[in-house]
Structure 1
Amino acid sequence: MMRRLLEVIAKDLDIKQGKNESTSDWKARTAYSAAGKMALGSMWDEQEDNVNISVQHFRDRAEQELTALCKVDHDVTKLADVINEMVEEIYDIYLNCGFIYHSAYRIAPCEEKKVQIGNLSFVRSCGLQEKLQVCGLGLYKTYAMGKYTKAKSLEELYQLQTAPYDQFFEKLIKDTVWQETTSMNGVEYLRIRRSTYDSYWQYSPDEDVVSLMRMGKEGQKSYYFYKKEGAAIYYCPLPNWVSNHLGFRYAANWVLKKRGTLLPTLYSIDGGLVRLQIQYLYPPNILNFVKLYTWPESMKEINDFNRITKLDVFQIIQQTLEPLGFQFKERK
């Protein structure tokens, strides 16, 4: 029975195996989701000092779940080598998506909120009262059509709005006083046209277009809009938040959308699963949401580019992101 534990968990969380998916990969996805749900459940563990749990307690519960599952099922024993990476991914995603709130080494649970789209109810909650389906680390429930009351939008629930950033950049460009630069040593320019495997940056500026450039040491980059007119390059400083926490991706995505060169996310359908290849990383708020409702394609090499999700959830992701300017293309 213990060796079939992950199969039981997969059924409970509604995690089905893809047609072309190996048993070990399916069980690895299940272990990842189970560890996430166990960590969320730890938010209600009683503490001796009657205060919120510590960050370490949250991480420990996820680690304990993964360690136990690796011991009872030989199909996932290799995950033991990457448990720390999986735990860090789980914690970061739940923190970035507003499931938990952090303060002074303690974390508190979020207020429960639900959004109904079609026959799916997306849930942001640390509660354990209701049996929910899981996709990646995201929680949801399937209902029959018509049996719901629509709440706030998914965009509002997970802060997916891009219009405020786009409007900010438009106004900045319109109102700025461009400054001519004389020293261009070590400057990198956003690559406007790129294939999947090209670098995001190049060392030569583009002509007659407002784009993005950066300079400075690794980890201390400053970002600017620039335009090249003849031999002269003019620049416009960007606020500090663009340089912090990957904020430059808001500006980069805005530039590429305006130029019509933002690469689409590629996808392929595998039974009830969809495999995603994100060719150009989304702005942080969008990427956090996508990571919440997807699994890493490989737990051995967790990255933001290659993800797996469920077909019904993917359809909602697609219809949510396309109006924001992010396109999807099926791989044949």
Structure 2
Amino acid sequence: MINLDIIAKELNIKKDKSEKDVEWYRRVVYSAVGRMALATLWNENDKGEISVRRLKSTTYELLKAYESMVPGINSTSNYGEHTDRLCDSILSTMENAGFFYHRAEYYRIAKTKHIKMGKVKLCRGIYATESCYMSGLGAYTKATNADENDESFSNSFEKPQFVLQKLIESVSWRECDFEKEKVEYLKMEEPFEKGYWTGQPNFQFQYSLARTKKCETFLQTYYLVRKTSEGMEVAELPTWVSEDRNYTLLSTGLLQYYKQMPPVIIKHGEEIAKIEIEYRLHPDVENLMLAYSWPERYDGENRPFSRIIPKSLSGTFKKILVDTGYNVREDF
């Protein structure tokens, strides 16, 4: 176990008093594999580039090596029985967060950026030899007074209500002519545990979303819906809305505007904080959150809405959530 203790210290991954040793070691291995996967891009050549197949193979081998070193992390089917799935999850999470990108069968490391956010700097595209701390799969360091603010990973987080309002002002409305059995409507009120869509529109709210059902079309079409004195009007939305869960930018804006969005709950421990998210975040924020956190389970069955971060980063992520319109509740 001594090797993982040393790695944990180097990466500043502290054990919470509520954690069992094996739970802590799983977090350490998860982060260590992510850090070594990034280092592999630089080790392959000076362009920070590696074939997709090679990086997947290397990441899988790293996971298997740690499993043999610490057999206890295989218990409860968290690592060992799902290594392939965990490997794919690690790489897709890092790619979605912009740590590297996929181009012509190769992964290439992203341009180096350091973003100062309060007392820390979030790091992207760092060299293999650069010292850093890890939160989940994301690298960060302590900020100093000399550090300047830098642009964010995606230049900026768009505020959902702003995007929603611009669409409302720019779309072309027409009388609703939906075939009832071919469309579904955004749920505008809790509970959301059984899904975010329903078969009937909610006329309590003036604006909402609708979309064609998956079984009806290969690519779902999304619509803004508005209630009028004469019934209901719809406006077809551009295709970007249906790509990569971008519709959640609008669903979030709607629920925030009508004050129906469930709060994000941050539960503070001694060294870690658990973030519980009852409504899926829109892509920019969710991708960053997933990259800089640990899952509670690693076997693919966990919801991406319950995550673990170092307590030292809780203020940073609270600010990101609040700045993009989410209501955050903290439990100490």
TM score, norm. by length of structure 1:
0.90
Alpha-carbon distance in 1 for matches of 2:244, 2:55: 23
1:23–1:75 contact (8 Å) kept in structure 2: no
Structure 2 match to 1:286:
285
Structure 2 match to 1:203:
199
Structure 2 match to 1:54:
51
Match of 1:162 among 130, 148, 158: 158
Higher relative contact order (CA 8 A, sep 6+): 2
Q: Which runs of 5+ in 2 are unaligned?
A: none
Per-residue CA deviations over 1:243-294 (Å, capped at 9, x if unaligned) read 1211111111111111111111112112110011111111111100101110
Match of 2:184, as an amino acid? E
Structure 2 match to 1:271:
270
Structure 1 match to 2:171:
176
1:4–1:73 contact (8 Å) kept in structure 2: no
Structure 2 match to 1:135:
135
Match of 1:43 among 31, 37, 41: 41
Q: CA RMSD in A?
A: 2.2
Q: Which runs of 5+ in 1 are unaligned?
A: none
1:160–1:286 contact (8 Å) kept in structure 2: no
Aligned-partner SS, 1:225: strand
- What is the deviation of 1:57? 1.5
Q: Give runs of aligned pairs for residues 242-261 of structure 1, distance below 5 A.
A: 242-261=241-260
2:50–2:106 contact (8 Å) kept in structure 1: yes
Alpha-carbon distance in 1 for matches of 2:135, 2:256: 29
Residue 328 (1) aligns with residue 328 (2): yes
Residue 299 (1) aligns with residue 295 (2): no
Per-residue CA deviations over 1:50-108 (Å, capped at 9, x if unaligned) read 99310121122221111011001122134111211221121112211222122110121
Aligned-partner SS, 1:185: helix
Q: Give runs of aligned pairs for residues 78-227 of structure 1, distance below 5 A.
A: 78=75, 79-143=79-143, 146=145, 148-153=146-151, 156-163=152-159, 166-182=161-177, 183-195=179-191, 197-207=193-203, 208-218=205-215, 220-227=219-226
- What is the deviation of 1:198? 4.2
Aligned pairs, number: 324
Task: Flag the 1:51–1:97 CA change in 2: closer, same or farther, 3 A.
Answer: closer
Task: Flag the 1:203–1:209 CA change in 2: closer, same or farther, 3 A.
Answer: same
Per-residue CA deviations over 1:194-240 (Å, capped at 9, x if unaligned) read 13524211222111511111113256322111123467321110111
Match of 2:221, as an amino acid? S
Q: Which moved more, 1:200-209 or 1:308-317?
A: 200-209
TM score, norm. by length of structure 2:
0.90
